[in-house]
Structure 1
């Protein structure tokens, strides 16, 4: 079960290290034994909420880039202007991006569908997975990573992984490894981006899955993985433009980061539509593209909350998130500071 996995992974609900959201989940309702401490009431206007989220995303972009300087004048350099033109072209023609810049692994949805089919016998499923040796290696590496390892001995085969983590968790691991192929940033300058955006996507996927209802967890997981494909596409455009940029040009203006924040979400939704993902993926991504509004759709809201919590955690880890900003953001996702700190400690394992 996903819940038992998260109990072992994050020690959720264990003694004094409980990690709970005051927007009470189904799991908490079943396990509730005492009243929850209320989140302090903070009056936040719609404009304050929108500005705080935009500032958070802009800070998060600063974390992804290796340079530390940010220009606040709003003047974009030649490199940034070139990429912004490419972004506008991508929004008008997502087909060219989906075919030439960011190809969705052809087997990700096909294999995910088969993994969800309970009528497929275990041995047939193992044989299916083992047809891709590179996929097997990546899955075993993930099973044995510090964040997910559940036993003292290493997992050395897909069959052992299936026994140890279960079919549903293995399905999520395989989906994650296939999605990982989308992030292929080779230049050294952008290598940090590849590592950090993957870490963020994994955090959002697992947080969204934990917050979801039992029948929504697998969809929430995949949606969390795919919500930032627009960012990945834009950064790949940036890599191409970087080779032709003037010496010294860096993607460091506040304007550029804000444009990327708003446009990347729209591009994610357009790519999902072109890839012909099921409607329950495309609709939440389309709603998330309106970054000024807190979504009301269940799936979109899960990813929205998980995204904010993950970005806050990653920025806090490098001491880049001011305390007042954190307070406002946590109030929006209905998470008190004590719970966030406990969750932050667990997220650092990724």
Structure 2
């Protein structure tokens, strides 16, 4: 870092002060000459000699639309497909024969509610952004906004979990309320470049699609043992978000480490949660088929939706950081 010493800003003794004062006093002696010079220059200078930038009013200044780079699209699709193949080969060496009717039904219903919830969240977040509600939210007390969003999200999520599936109206009401609070939390993301959001969304679909396919075709209960380590990992990631409130600003290296834990460690943890939640859905489907628990796809969808949102947010932050470095 470049440091500027205070000694370079101090006057160099009484002599400088006396010189400055004498210059101020003697300014009146040069004033007539200065006025005469300015008057002569103004007479000699004409507007025709000045050069101003010319702006054409015939053609509007509109940025031309860039053509679609099919090469980049092909590379992204190929990268997503390669990711699925690598994850399948590395994590799914022991596969199962196939899904039963109950497992397939609950898995399809859970992912249908997950997709619907994400669509509702994205549409509501866009509506909040265009209506100006985001500006009012950001202008308010950030701690109050954070507290209300956190309390509302957790409260509505608990309402979904503790409402029996037979009470359809109340359960869907809490589910829509949960999506509304998630939309309020994610709406400031629309201030970012839409290209970054689109790329992050595509990468999220690729990662979650590959991991959920691995979890669905893996042997029974293979990844359910990850529950304890994933809970510990979430605790570490959550504590890393509080590091800027505890560590001093001068601890640059420590803050960089905690940021890496939050971003890349969070990606790994929530990617593991996709595996865990997918296999948990299959286990719950077998229990429901045996009559030991109730079939509830909305409860299963909440976990998958939170996994996808957390992965998406971290990918947006990583892509934004890489874009700013260019």
Q: TM-score range by the shorter chain?
A: under 0.3
TM score, norm. by length of structure 2 = 0.24
Higher percent of residues as helix: 2
Answer with 1 or 2: which has the greater Rg: 2
Q: How does the TM-score come out when normalised to structure 1?
A: 0.23
Say which structure, 1 or 2, has more relative contact order (CA 8 Å, 6+ apart).
1
